[in-house]
Amino acid sequence: MSSVHINTRKFLMTRRSPHRRGLPGVAVAAVVALLLGPLGSTSAQAANATIEGSVTEADAPVARVTVSAYRWDDERGSWDFEQESETAPDGTWALDFLPDGAYTLQFDTSVSTARFALGESLGRNATYADDEPTFEIADGTTRAAPFAEHELERWGGEVTLSVTDGGETLIDLDDAVAQLRGIDMNGDASESQREYADESGVVTISRVPAGGYVPWVAARGEAAAPAPTDALVLPGAAVDLGAAALGPAPEGTLVGGEPALTGESRAGETLTIVDPEFDPDPERVSHRWSAAGSALSETSASLELTEPLIGESVTAWVFAHRAGAAPFIGLVASDPVAPAAAGAGADAAASGTGAAADASGSSTAGGAAAGDSDSAGADASAAAGGGSDAGSDGAGAGAGGSGGGDGSEDGPLPVTGAELTGIVALALALLAGGAILVLRRRNRLDPAAPGSE
């Protein structure tokens, strides 16, 4: 966030700290105003107001943020650049010699995501087209201090590494420099700012846009070359890449298509990365996974989906390296992870396939079942101790299992010989009783009939 304070002191000349910019432009404008008189621009007005403040991120000061002041021009109906300054290591900044007018501010850095996060006026409009004046300077005094704390988006992660040559760590005197190049979360090209090693040989790259990266290193003015290592850098993450050795500048690029995913995006299932075809063949391929703004610990080509991932889209990353070629970086995202199928075992039993489902031990890897239907049926039959004539499909396996005499309640019970004899006797008794009822009814209707009273 940016905390800004207004200083309303008046002065003829001020001493500016080395990190502030814009004074040479003001001096030139003053000379031009003296020479051209009435032809001078409005910048030649009395310039005697100063505003100052600081920029922080997560309560930490942020250096090298450009703070620009834009003044509203009523005649032109637009915002005109007036002056800019750059934050010092402690995050402080100041803008001096501001003429009277209505102003808005812009915060900016050289990092792309920071430019997205900071490249806006206090009215949150990067083009300033719809901004209303946010504060005014009149007679060298600011009116109605407008600067509430400015909430900024997170800028990304931080990466540290060292540059080595023949096993020796290079320091600042060797002009060792590093830059991260890769793709962001949308698959678009992204790169960090270039940073030099300090006196101990550590290169620190801050505010790295979220994405997958390979470090490019150089020293002594030579061309940069990629190191055979890679990493995911996500907001708030601190990544130590260790030593990155100098190498020759690449002569070509490792070309590859888009990676793919196989498997069902469901808790309890497994996703597997399918690498693209490369040209030429890589010497090393690595895989990484991320979800919900964080890197996952898995570094193999397969990921088992767990319950904490439910509702999240999982991103799979592929890094391919080959000496003498720029590396390949690709990604593919899954559908949001669905909950595990409820009662899958019970459903299978109710449909006559429970034994097959339980005994096969099937799982999804690479989008295909672990075993085919024949082997699943055989396993089911063996596990149930049932008949040897297990069906080739799951239903056959279930039927074989239920005939094993294990007291299973699946399906109707068999009819024995004793039960059949009882059923026949009951049927004959019912028929005899019915005949007697018919005769008695006929006797009542016809007194002359035999047997009637």
Task: Kindly list the structural domains of the chain, giving each domain's residue range(s) and its CATH number in brackets, ordered by start.
Answer: 2-143 (2.60.40), 157-249 (2.60.40.1120), 253-333 (2.60.40.2700), 351-397 (no CATH)
Output the pLDDT for position 105: 84
Amino acid of residue 136: E
Output the pLDDT for position 62: 80
Output the pLDDT for position 138: 85
Output the pLDDT for position 57: 72
Output the pLDDT for position 73: 87
Output the pLDDT for position 244: 97
- The C-alpha atoms of residue 342 and residue 417 are separated, in whole angstroms, by 42
* List of residues 6+ apart from 43 with CB closer than 8 A: 26, 29, 33, 82, 99
Mean pLDDT by 10 residues, the chain (453 residues): 42 31 37 37 56 78 84 85 90 88 80 57 63 78 59 74 96 96 94 92 89 97 95 92 96 96 97 97 97 95 97 98 97 97 54 36 29 34 35 34 39 47 64 63 53 46
Angle at 182 between CA 176 and CA 187, to 5 degrees: 165
- The C-alpha atoms of residue 44 and residue 33 are separated, in whole angstroms, by 6
Output the pLDDT for position 404: 38
Q: Classify burial at 285, counting beta carbons within 10 Å of its beta carbon; exposed 0-12, middle 13-18, buried 19 or more.
A: middle
Output the pLDDT for position 127: 64
- The C-alpha atoms of residue 226 and residue 326 are separated, in whole angstroms, by 7
Residue with tokens 């009277």, as numbered in its chain: 100
Output the pLDDT for position 296: 97
